[in-house]
Amino acid sequence: MTFSERTVHQIRRAIGNTPGLSERPLYSGVAFMLRGNMCCGMIDDNLVVRVGPDTYDDALREPHTRPMDFTGRPLPGFVYVERAGFASSNSLRQWIDRGVSFVRTLPPKS
């Protein structure tokens, strides 16, 4: 399965002018990095959002979410959001904002 170029384009439009933003290939998808820290991306047909440890459990209670576990082990602080969970541009923007907001609390990576 390949990632959705359409969704990646929507993510670029939503955060493309954010200072410190970069984009990197990620497994079978794309990662969006803010000051060197991943904030969101696409893997296969799932949106990946870094929500952080404090809001991780809350994010998992939301519809269409599950732990990010591409290695077979959940990665704390990251969630997969299935397409139904970001079907509208508003819901996609809300998830992106959550990732960007959390990553802004982290120190930049060199």
- What CATH number is given to the structural domain containing 10? 3.90.1150.30
Block residue for tokens 């959940």: 74
Has residue 110 been placed in a domain?
no
pTM over 0.75: yes
CB 10 within 8 A of CB 92: yes
> How would residue 2 be classed by pLDDT, with cut points 50, 70 and 90?
low
pLDDT value at 32 more than 90: yes
40 contacts 30 by C-beta, under 8 angstroms: no
- List C-alpha distances in Å: 60 to 16, 56, 67, 108: 27, 6, 7, 26
Domain coverage including residue 73 = 5-103
Report, as an integer, the average pLDDT of 76-85: 95
Q: What is the mean pLDDT of residues 51-61?
A: 97
End-to-end CA distance of the chain: 32
Total domains in the chain come to: 1
**pLDDT mean over 18-47:** 91
Does 22 score more than 60 pLDDT?
yes
> What's the rounded mean pLDDT across residues 93-110?
94
